[in-house]
Chain A
């Protein structure tokens, strides 16, 4: 081979290597998430006060230099409580989505690949799940199990996996018609190998993108249940619980409900901005 040809290869290859410029909004989202993860990991170092320390000399104080987010009806520092709550709410984001994502992906793979009767049964499950409003179904399950964080995880997971399964099912069905799936079969590979080693890697990206959005949704749902008194229970600091605690002080102490709410909105925005960035990255491929 001539030296010219050898040199020509990298020159030709260079423009073909697609670089992905990370959008500014994605960076913003990542920065927000980083902030919250820091709060969740080291709340005792970041928060100025202990989250449940009563101070009867500072009841229902508006935001000040000593208490940036004000204090609640027990004199607890709202900034510290909001920071500690990040730990619970990020836990909600992960625990309400992790099992559904894994189990749903697995179930959706099987359903999409096997088809037939299994698929028929799954489609009936989907029909039922979209007919009963998501929140109502979760609330009904929590009603039977009893309120609390763990039961909330169980209730949400019991419903949420269906969304993942439905997503991956569609992807698998479209992938299994491709030539490479047939090629795998001709090569003599078993169905498990074709499904999980060949089809799944090509079908997984919408799941990853949805997972980000779903973590934002999980925080919304978890804080809503906390607000209603069905999720995390006081005195646990959780953004929804904090806002629920503020119910009787809405007109007199607006800071009690406004700041934890801003935390929810920021965290949700962080997850969806990162999700949007991932979606763009996947679409470029």
Chain B
């Protein structure tokens, strides 16, 4: 199998999944008990007001018609208009998605910078003092909710030492990097706890593998064995892990953006829930699911490039 055929198959698979995701979102919004109109207007709304809102949102049409409209909106990535902000959902998302992408991108880079070297140290000195310390710290941070990590960083580095802004976003790319550093570090710390634990196990397994003993027995330098044989395998497991946790990274971004008042899509999602803006919630759920699918595809592509066994 070539890389292309692997990817083509994955792409088909992902397309099918996205269709199912669309169905699920529609079912969530239309079939679950709970009336969005009533929640939007409150219990005391007049019958005429309710009827008008129903009409405006298209809830007075048949379920089939609503589904048809919904499909059209999802397929064209337009998602209709925001109920409370009265602008197209697509433009809301387009404005805020880059911020979230930048935040998660920075978080992944930081998490790799933290987790990969530490995992190497821990795996090479198994059972040593450093290894034990790393494991204790990662165990504790695994039990730490993202919002709490964020709060501690906020209280100490932003409010206490005033090294960083308390929240919000800057103007221009360089300032954004500065404003997003603490939120990204928050996400990175929670991600690296997971990465570290799994990567350490993966590295220990690779270090004990026959091909590493063989490479050492051939008389290769320790640095060559580690750099060329172990590292390559470590990358494959790291990328797989990152892909697996793409969803929790997005979830973490939702929380982090709320803690640091970052105007990204996560913050938008939470705000929309409180303003009962269903159009935004369903549009965002869709976009985030597609984003995760793209990450899955990218992970498959990278694996196919790095690991010859995938295309064998």
Contact = CB atoms under 8 A, between A and B. Distances in A.
Contact of A134 (B152, B247, B272): B247
B251 A132 contact: no
Interface string A203-240: 00000000000001000100110011110000000001
Interface string B276-291: 1010011011001100
13 contacts: A131-B247, A132-B247, A134-B251, A135-B248, A139-B254, A139-B270, A141-B28, A224-B147, A227-B147, A240-B145, A250-B155, A261-B148, A261-B151
B18 interface: yes
B143 A216 contact: yes
Contacts of A229: 274
B142 A272 contact: yes
A133 interface: yes
B143 A131 contact: no
Contact-residue size bin, chain B (C-beta under 8 Å from the other chain): 35 or more
B174 interface: no
A250 B166 CA distance: 11
B34 interface: yes
A134 B248 CA distance: 7
Interface of A: 124, 127-128, 130-137, 139-147, 216, 220, 223-224, 227-230, 240, 243, 250-251, 254, 257-258, 261, 264-269, 272-273
Given A261-B148, A272-B143, A128 B255 contact: no
B163 to A, nearest CB: 14
Contacts of A135: 248, 250-252, 254-255
A143 B252 CA distance: 18
Given A139-B270, A261-B148, 17 more contacts: A127-B16, A131-B17, A131-B247, A132-B21, A132-B288, A133-B292, A135-B252, A136-B247, A136-B254, A143-B272, A143-B276, A143-B281, A145-B34, A224-B145, A228-B258, A264-B145, A268-B143
A86 to B, nearest CB: 15
Chain B's interface: helix, strand, loop or mixed, by majority? Answer: helix
Contacts of B144: 220, 261, 264-265, 268
A128 B34 contact: no
Contacts of B281: 140, 143
Q: Is the interface of A mostly helix, strand, loop or mixed?
A: helix
B146 interface: yes
Contacts of A133: 246-248, 250-251, 288-289, 292
Contacts of A144: 28-29, 32, 34, 36, 278
B151 A250 contact: yes
Contacts of A272: 139, 142-143
B20 A137 contact: no
Interface string B22-55: 0011001100111010010000000000000000
B28 A128 contact: no
Contacts of B252: 135
